[in-house]
Every structure is written in C-alpha cells, then in structure tokens.
Amino acid sequence: MIKLSQEEMDGIIQLRDSVRENTTESGKLNIQKHFIQTELDMIDSKLQEVYTKAEQLEALEKELIDSVVSKYGEGKLDFATGIYQVN
C-alpha cells in the first residue's frame, strides 16, 4: 500500500473541485439556455400570429382598394379630407 503525499492529494482534490464546479456551471448555463429558448419559442409564436394578422389586413386592404377602384375608377384618396380624386 502506498500513501500519497499531501501535495499529491491536494492536487487531486483541487482537480475534483474544479471538475465539480465546471459541471455545476454547465448545468446552470443549460437551465438558463432552456428558459431563454422557451422565451424565444413564445416570441416566435407571437410573431407568427402578428405576421398572419398582417397578411389578413393586407388582404382586407386590397379588397377595399379594389372595391373603391371598381366603383369610382383609378384615383387618389386624401386621407385628411376623405376626398377621392379620380385620375
């Protein structure tokens, strides 16, 4: 049986402590990453809703413009006065 020197034992203990600290830090970072990824997923979902709504609004705008143009012909609307100037 061989007894290791105090210096060798201190080195082994220090290394084990470093490995444990590194493992703990890795775990903490993975948990943070999980929560951030969850937030990003929620943001992506909300963005998709906003994009879908934008597409719907664009379609409604096109329908309204087409309706006005078919009724009055090509022209330009003054939003301040509500006057539609036919070309």
pLDDT at 42: 98
Distance CA 39, CA 17 (A): 33
Give pTM, 2 decimals.
Answer: 0.64
Determine the average pLDDT of the residues in 74-85.
90
pLDDT at 87: 86
Q: H-helix or E-strand containing 28?
A: helix 6-72
Average pLDDT, the chain: 96
Which percentage of the chain shows pLDDT scores above 70? 100
Instruction: Identify the band that residue 53 occupies on the pLDDT scale cut at 50, 70 and 90.
Output: very high
pLDDT at 47 exceeding the cut of 90: yes
Query: Under a CB-based contact definition with an 8 Å cutoff, are residues 68 and 84 in contact?
Result: yes
